[in-house]
Structure 1
Amino acid sequence: MPAEIGLVMAVAAVSVGAILVRWSHAPSSVAAFYRVLFTTLPLIPVAVWRYREEFRRIGRRDLVFATLSGIALALHFAAWFESLEWTSVAASVTLVQAQPVFVALGAWLLLSERVTRRIAVGITVAVGGMAVMSLGDLLGGVLVGPNPLYGNSLALFGAVMAAGYVLAGRSLRQRLALIPYVVVVYGVCTVSLLAIVIIEGHPLTGYPTREWLVFAGLAIGPGLFGHTVINWALAHLESSVVSVSLLGEPVGATILALVLLSEAPTTFTVVGGGIVLIGIYLTTSGTT
């Protein structure tokens, strides 16, 4: 399959994620747990069969970074899934997609990486767009969701945690093949989400068939056919092409929310979201 077609399919698959979360009536942390668990389980036999030697070469330092990366990913999923309970799909998906902005900031603050003028402009533009999205509707009195400001804050926290996942796993990804990397990090993520579910006191069983189908859909669509294919595409396409293509997720999710959930974004969300996407584009194109 050509990488370009695979990338288009992957962006379409991840765009469905927010809709499936909205369709679920289970607690958000439970949906996130099964999303990651069901994504990881099919990969374990492949990893053990084909990459046994790579697992043996994983050192203590790699395990530390894998643990940090997996915990950050768990917090990303938990926060983002919960954000969809409080704000619009358009706002939540756009804000959580802003993780490249926080990756650039984190690389500058923690790794002393150089911030170019283009990156600085991109970060500034994205932050301005976030302010328009989060405060515009509040001041204008037109709200989509029970508490958009809280939901937007959760989505932003999810973006920060996604950036932490990328930064913590950057060196590990360079030394491990895709499948072993995903299994190790997703394994830590699964355990972390299980801990969150237990702490929150939610049951792990007793959900109707409809919920299990949603959990499976989250794993197969956004999980296996989404992010896994995106990681595969990075080995065949320029990273800048992949980064820009991912900006299609908020657009796709917004259209799907309008068609399937009858959820029309407000003017401030559309304008602010457009500004955020421009900022993300400037940031990603400045780092690739």
Structure 2
Amino acid sequence: MGFRYIILFAAVFFLSSSAIFAKLAEAPSGIIAFYRLLFAALALLPALLLRREERDQLLQLAGSKLLLGIASGFVLALHYVLWFESLKFTSVASSVVLVTLQPLFTILGSFILWRERCSAAAMWGCLLAIGGSIVIGWGDFAISWRAFLGDILALVAAAVIAGYFLIGQEVRKSLAAIPYSVLGYSSGAFFLGLYSWACGDAFVGYSTNTWLDFLGLAFVATILGQVIFNWLLKWLAATVISMSILGETVGTCILSFFILGEVPTLQQFAGILMILLGIGIFLYYKDRGVLKNEKDIQ
């Protein structure tokens, strides 16, 4: 169990590079998300083709499981569109703070679907970590109808990404991480491609550095981050993974300091401590039933 938590925290750190690469990439948001998922799917494809058992799992997938796999890609694409669109109307900090409400939606969804409960102490830890995110972004909240629209979009994006992890927890019961990721990312790239085409965005003509940022998003943030989450969904509940992703804010602050030279303020530092303490409390007091099947690691 401890080993999987170490992997989880490492994946959260790699995921933290997402905001850095996205900020450095000089391309429309839909295009950035499109190439992120497309390159990740293409990178995972050889591993899928070389593993007969996992390849057969995907080929034999049908009915509701297949629809859920495709739906995971659509939900992921929808999350990116909603989140990136929210940034056009409200501040980055306001948008990110609202997106970090995803654990609340995941906890609610897990209770409705599987009657999965959290102890009172774990919920206090969740609220403390979310409070840390609010402390980090508090000074950047804007009050206007335009900002309110952006905030609503960010809030819906939080609910949508919670749905992605809940779908993954169900599909991963019968599908290994790599075929699940390939199916979800390729279908997500398809939907994002349609969206970018409808917006009239160019698919080529970007600088070398931007293409490198696309690759960084695919290989570092997605394969070393999000794919690991998909793998862990077989043993860890969606609520645990969703909650741990709050640590992305901490990782982003650290990477921003070393890569972008952005020094955290005292307020941000206090928020970071709140997030780390809240995550620690949640994981410590979460029901022991979080750990899933101990056998057949894939």
Taking structure 1 as the reference length, the TM-score comes to 0.77
What is the CA-CA distance between 1:138 and the residue it aligns to?
A: 3.6
Contact residue 137 and residue 266 of structure 1 kept, 8 A:
no
Match of 2:63 in 1: 60
Alignment of 1:201-240 (within 5 A): 201-232=200-231
User: Secondary structure of the equivalent of 1:175?
Assistant: coil
Residue type at the aligned position of 2:67: V
Task: Please say if 1:177 is aligned against 2:176.
Answer: yes
Post-superposition CA distance 1:62-95 (Å, at most 9, x none):
0121122211111223344455675347x66565
User: Higher mean Cα deviation, 22-31 or 197-206?
Assistant: 197-206
What is the root-mean-square deviation in Å for CA atoms of aligned residues? 3.8
Counterpart residue number, 1:16 = 17
Match of 2:107?
Answer: 104
Return closer, same or farther for 1:216/1:244 CA change in 2, 3 Å cut-off: same
Instruction: Say if 2:91 is the partner of 1:87.
Output: yes
Shift of 1:196: 1.8
Q: Confirm or deny: 8 A CA contact 2:32 2:214 kept in the other structure.
A: yes
Instruction: Specify every segment of 5 or more residues in structure 1 that has no aligned partner in the other structure, as ranges.
Output: 142-146
* Distance 1:115-1:243 versus aligned 2 partners, 3 A rule: closer
- How many residue pairs are counted as aligned between the two chains? 280
What does 1:157-172 correspond to in 2, within 5 Å? 157-172=156-171
Corresponding residue of 1:45: 46
Q: Work out the CA distance in 1 between the residues paired with 2:179 and 2:111.
A: 28
> Identity of paired residues, percent?
37
TM-aligned CA distance change 1:212 to 1:82, over 3 Å:
farther
**The 10-residue stretch of structure 1 (118-127 or 102-111) with the greater mean CA deviation from structure 2:** 118-127
1:179, 1:24 → 2: CA distance? Answer: 27
SS at match of 1:42: helix
Cα distance in 2 for partners of 1:62, 1:242 equals 21
Aligned-partner residue type, residue 26 of structure 1: A
Tell me the alpha carbon deviations over residues 36-74 of structure 1, each in whole angstroms, 9 at most, x when there is no partner.
100010212321331232123212110121122211111
Name the CA distance, whole Å, in 1 between partners of 2:215 and 2:46: 18
Structure possessing the higher relative contact order (Cα contacts under 8 Å, 6 or more residues apart): 1
Question: How many angstroms apart in 1 are the aligned matches of 2:148 and 2:272?
Answer: 15
Unaligned runs of 5+ in 2: 291-298
What is residue 78 of structure 2 aligned with on the other side?
75
Over residues 151-173 of structure 1, what are the superposed CA-to-partner deviations in whole Å (9 max), with x where a residue is unaligned? 66554433322210011222111
SS of alignment partner, residue 41 of structure 1: helix
Please say if 1:190 is aligned against 2:194: no
